[in-house]
A and B are shown apart, each in its own frame.
Chain A
Amino acid sequence: MLSRSAERLYWLARYLERTENTARLVSATMNLIYDLPFGVELGWHNLLNICGVEAAFNQRYKTCSEQNAIHFLLTDMNNPGSLLASLTIARENIRTSREMMPDEAWEQVNEMYLYAKNNLDQVLHRRERALFLQEIMRGCQRFTGFIAGAMSRNASYRFISLGRNVERADMTTRIMDFGTILLAENRSHMMREYETMLWINVLKSLSALLMYRKQIRQRIKGKEVLSYLLKNPEFPGAVHHCLLEINDCIQQLPNCKELADFIDPMIVEILEINIGETTPAQLRITLDTLQAQFNDLHQQISATWFLSP
């Protein structure tokens, strides 16, 4: 398999995952903000922060209104991380990888792109926006379905899986950043009152609520949610699970020795993290370290198999 092709499939998967994550995050945030009373110290700026685009947003906008945040996160082509920009890049990548996957996979992404482009105005109105986001999430899932159902477990498949899981693990740690706000010692009385609902929304933003409830049959508590999202080996959005998937892919690709040596200690370290005794400040450091490690992991993948090291 060409290094270039591998790189394109990897980025295709990363950008599609990012598209889906953005849709789900915005959707969950909408739900949350409409439920919360005024005065709770949570808003669209938190979402911008999670997506790592707060600084870029502030350069372009004076106020962090819902309209501005939505525009920036969903349809602004000047924001390389916006839903439309991610989807556009994903489409470019699959357009240039058509010879490697079932036709339906390309047609699915292409249709979703055309849908997004033709319905940009929908995101301005809350009700239509929810439908728009739902359609995008479904489109991404259909793609995943085609790949799961019609693609041989070959190198192409593994690079797609690799990209998806690197992106997903990274996003999960970003969403866990919410925890540093929700667990802050100086959080308001009102925030404490709505705490359970906030944590439920964290789980929802990763489609993790049901699976979490099935596993942990008690009242939802913050630190347990964080622990679950970090260390659960079975839930697809949990960091531990993503790393196991990445490890599986790596083992079956050529020249994988160095990467295997890199990822093994990462998995061990994650299981050693004790969220129960972590302060919000320590949690932030842990999450920052993890995100840096994912970046190194990406560099390593790139150096091993891609054209551009």
Chain B
Amino acid sequence: MSTHSIWSNYHTHKAFDEMIDHQGTTRDTCATLGQYLQTLGMETIKGRLSAAEAAILEMGITFTVYSDEGNIDRAWPYDIIPRLIDFHEWKSIEVGLKQRLKALNCFINDVYNEQHFIRDGFLPPDLIESSGNFRKECIGMQPKFGTWANICGSDLVRADEGKVYVLEDNLRVPSGVSYMIENRVITKRVFPELLQNLDILPVDDYPTQLLEMLSSLAPHSTERPQIAVLTPGIYNSAYFEHAFLAQQMGAELVEGSDLIVKNDDCVYMRTVGGLEKVDVIYRRIDDLFLDPEVFYKDSALGVKGLMRAWKAGNVALANAPGAGVADDKVIYAYVPQMIKYYLNEEPILPNVPTYLCSDPEQCQYVLQHLSELVVKPANESGGYGMLVGPHATQKEIQQFHKLITHNPRNYIAQPTLALSTCPTLCGDELQPRHIDLRPFILQGEHSFVTAGGLTRVALRSGSLVVNSSQGGGSKDTWIINREQ
């Protein structure tokens, strides 16, 4: 066995590295992990990765990628080196995330009712009307507890000298939580001795918390509300997750054609014994496909009359239709003000500075600095339609110049952050790769935040795009308490 350090070729770049500081010393949080990896040596680490990859295949942990050759079911990309966050730091992030979702829900409820925030001059009204995710059909609705976004996946990044920012809030149908849980299952298999000796917060209580939150939304108090997970079906990229969550919660996994809304405006599912009433639907279908009676007329994924049943208060939908209005990347820029306005608190987690192209002055700046900025469309997710200025070709920059000029409302820009890096197994050695973090926040009767979340990693050297649909990988995330 070679005696040289597995860290000898590990060179951190300008970015903040989660494990090794600029002097090359292992950070305190990661001391035990660093030593442990060193003791194992590279060959053993690689062996454990092979074992992990075999387990992922056999357990069938997959995600679906759309391609020209049809839909491919790919094994979940897992990097064996965990990402660690100190318990105390995490506690304050957790409070910040709950605060943020609370304010977002106040805002959504306000948008569809009195619109105080707009009337008081904090947000130009045309930004709401022009939002692709604003649903006029939802005006006047008041979901239980005033919560519209019950499940939120916020993307956090660490930049500069270690400061954590919120990059975006996913309030429509955020995915990834099942992989967070499965990543831990895999890590337990490959590093059992390490997990036993460290105090790491567990992550597998999420389905229980989700079930409790969904139950709290049931329109009428019943002993055991009937809960269903509504999936677009097997060809959806997140189908694995839909099935996983339904199984873990003991809920029914349904597709649109399993459900029917009768004349009494109640939702029923078709069972072998006849129709059974459904109380709460965790829908993993986009708004516009939910109900052909109201939205896309030819949607085969949705359920005719679902909006009728929801408006009549006979079924709870999570997330509520229209919740995506606050998911718009233009609205994102206003979240710190929302926190002050609705909660009368100072924001705990900062936003990334954001230029709104809808504002002529800011748009001018963006157009002049495209090669330095990251440009994002306001209503897309999954890393589609983005421009990463410093990595873009001249042609791409010109293309975005045109796109933005043509439809400024649809674009925002942010400085290119030096996302933090984390040691990642690349071939035969550990190399720094950029990462982000997606924790999941629940809000129903109570709030809940996952312990950590899903760490996504850009596998290509220097790349900042972490989405699995764009070739990103993932890491198990450890919230580690070092006090004995």
Residues of A within 8 A of B (CB): 1-6, 92, 95-96, 98-99, 106-107, 110-111, 114, 155, 253-255, 305, 307
Contact A3 B60 (CB under 8 A): no
Compute how far the CA of A6 lies from the CA of B274 in the bound complex, rounded to whole angstroms.
Answer: 13
Q: Does B115 contact A (CB under 8 A)?
A: no
Contact A95 B243 (CB under 8 A): yes
Can you list 15 A-B contacts (CB < 8 A)?
A1-B272, A2-B252, A2-B272, A3-B270, A4-B257, A4-B270, A95-B243, A99-B250, A106-B60, A107-B58, A107-B59, A107-B60, A110-B57, A110-B60, A111-B58
Count how many pairs of residues, one from A and one from B, have CB atoms less than 8 Å apart in the complex.
59
- Contact bitstring B238-253, A, C-beta under 8 A = 1, else 0: 0100010011001011
Which residues from A are CB-within-8-Å of B274?
A: 254-255
Compute how far the CA of A176 lies from the CA of B234 in the bound complex, rounded to whole angstroms.
Answer: 38
**Whole-angstrom distance from the CB of A88 to the nearest CB of chain B?**
11
Contact B258 A3 (CB under 8 A): yes
Which residues of chain B from 239 to 287 have a CB within 8 Å of any chain A CB?
Answer: 239, 243, 246-247, 250, 252-255, 257-258, 269-274
**Whole-angstrom distance from the CB of A121 to the nearest CB of chain B?**
19
Contact B60 A307 (CB under 8 A): no
Q: Which of B57, B250, B272 contacts A114 (CB 8 A)?
A: B57
Asked, given contacts A96-B243, A98-B243, A99-B247, whether A2 binds B234 with beta carbons under 8 Å apart, the answer is: no
Contact A95 B272 (CB under 8 A): no
Which residues from B are CB-within-8-Å of A4?
A: 254-255, 257-258, 270
14 new A-B contacts, CB < 8 A, other than A2-B252, A254-B273, are A2-B271, A3-B272, A4-B254, A4-B257, A96-B234, A98-B247, A99-B247, A99-B253, A107-B60, A110-B58, A110-B60, A114-B57, A155-B272, A307-B257
Which residues from B are CB-within-8-Å of A114?
A: 57-58
Residue in chain B with minimal CB distance to A155: B272
Compute how far the CA of A255 lies from the CA of B60 in the bound complex, rounded to whole angstroms.
Answer: 36
Residue in chain A with minimal CB distance to B253: A99
Contact A92 B234 (CB under 8 A): yes
Which residues from B are CB-within-8-Å of A110?
A: 57-60
Compute how far the CA of A118 lies from the CA of B102 in the bound complex, rounded to whole angstroms.
Answer: 50
Which residues from B are CB-within-8-Å of A255?
A: 272-274
Which residues from A are CB-within-8-Å of B255?
A: 4
Contact A95 B59 (CB under 8 A): no
In the A-B complex, the 6 residue pairs with the closest CB atoms? A99-B247, A254-B273, A305-B272, A3-B270, A110-B60, A6-B272
Compute how far the CA of A114 lies from the CA of B258 in the bound complex, rounded to whole angstroms.
Answer: 31
Compute how far the CA of A302 lies from the CA of B307 in the bound complex, rounded to whole angstroms.
Answer: 30
Compute how far the CA of A255 lies from the CA of B272 in the bound complex, rounded to whole angstroms.
Answer: 8
Which residues of chain B from 24 to 49 have a CB within 8 Å of any chain A CB?
Answer: none
Which residues from A are CB-within-8-Å of B60?
A: 95, 106-107, 110
Residue in chain A with minimal CB distance to B250: A99
Compute how far the CA of A107 lies from the CA of B58 in the bound complex, rounded to whole angstroms.
Answer: 6
**Whole-angstrom distance from the CB of A4 to the nearest CB of chain B?**
5
Compute how far the CA of A125 lies from the CA of B74 in the bound complex, rounded to whole angstroms.
Answer: 30
- Count of interface residues, chain B, beta-carbon cutoff 8 Å: 22
Residue in chain B with minimal CB distance to A99: B247
Which residues from B are CB-within-8-Å of A155?
A: 272
Which residues from B are CB-within-8-Å of A107?
A: 58-60
Which residues from A are CB-within-8-Å of B239?
A: 96
Contact B254 A2 (CB under 8 A): yes
**Whole-angstrom distance from the CB of B367 to the nearest CB of chain A?**
48
Compute how far the CA of A98 lies from the CA of B231 in the bound complex, rounded to whole angstroms.
Answer: 15
Contact B234 A95 (CB under 8 A): yes
Contact B243 A2 (CB under 8 A): no
**Whole-angstrom distance from the CB of B232 to the nearest CB of chain A?**
12
Contact A2 B270 (CB under 8 A): yes
Which residues from A are CB-within-8-Å of B270?
A: 2-4, 307
Residue in chain B with minimal CB distance to A308: B257
Contact A99 B272 (CB under 8 A): no
Which residues from A are CB-within-8-Å of B253?
A: 5, 96, 99
Which residues from B are CB-within-8-Å of A96?
A: 234, 239, 243, 253
Residue in chain B with minimal CB distance to A100: B247
Compute how far the CA of A99 lies from the CA of B242 in the bound complex, rounded to whole angstroms.
Answer: 11
Residue in chain B with minimal CB distance to A3: B270
Compute how far the CA of A3 lies from the CA of B276 in the bound complex, rounded to whole angstroms.
Answer: 11
Which residues from A are CB-within-8-Å of B271?
A: 1-3
Compute how far the CA of A22 lies from the CA of B273 in the bound complex, rounded to whole angstroms.
Answer: 34
Compute how far the CA of A35 lies from the CA of B254 in the bound complex, rounded to whole angstroms.
Answer: 52
Residue in chain A with minimal CB distance to B242: A96
**Whole-angstrom distance from the CB of B132 to the nearest CB of chain A?**
31
Which residues from A are CB-within-8-Å of B243?
A: 95-96, 98-99
Compute how far the CA of A114 lies from the CA of B250 in the bound complex, rounded to whole angstroms.
Answer: 28
Q: Which of A2, A92, A307 lies at the interface centre, i.e. has the most chain B CB atoms within 10 A of its CB? A: A2
**Whole-angstrom distance from the CB of B72 to the nearest CB of chain A?**
13
Which residues from A are CB-within-8-Å of B254?
A: 2, 4
Compute how far the CA of A111 lies from the CA of B54 in the bound complex, rounded to whole angstroms.
Answer: 10
Compute how far the CA of A96 lies from the CA of B233 in the bound complex, rounded to whole angstroms.
Answer: 9
Which residues from A are CB-within-8-Å of B258?
A: 2-4, 307
Residue in chain B with minimal CB distance to A159: B272
Compute how far the CA of A285 lies from the CA of B274 in the bound complex, rounded to whole angstroms.
Answer: 38
Compute how far the CA of A111 lies from the CA of B250 in the bound complex, rounded to whole angstroms.
Answer: 25
Compute how far the CA of A107 lies from the CA of B271 in the bound complex, rounded to whole angstroms.
Answer: 27
- Contact bitstring B143-187, A, C-beta under 8 A = 1, else 0: 000000000000000000000000000000000000000000000
Residue in chain B with minimal CB distance to A7: B272
Residue in chain A with minimal CB distance to B255: A4
- Contact bitstring B77-102, A, C-beta under 8 A = 1, else 0: 00000000000000000000000000
Compute how far the CA of A140 lies from the CA of B168 in the bound complex, rounded to whole angstroms.
Answer: 47
Residue in chain A with minimal CB distance to B246: A99
Compute how far the CA of A95 lies from the CA of B64 in the bound complex, rounded to whole angstroms.
Answer: 13
Which residues from A are CB-within-8-Å of B273?
A: 1, 254-255
Contact A2 B58 (CB under 8 A): no
Compute how far the CA of A95 lies from the CA of B252 in the bound complex, rounded to whole angstroms.
Answer: 15
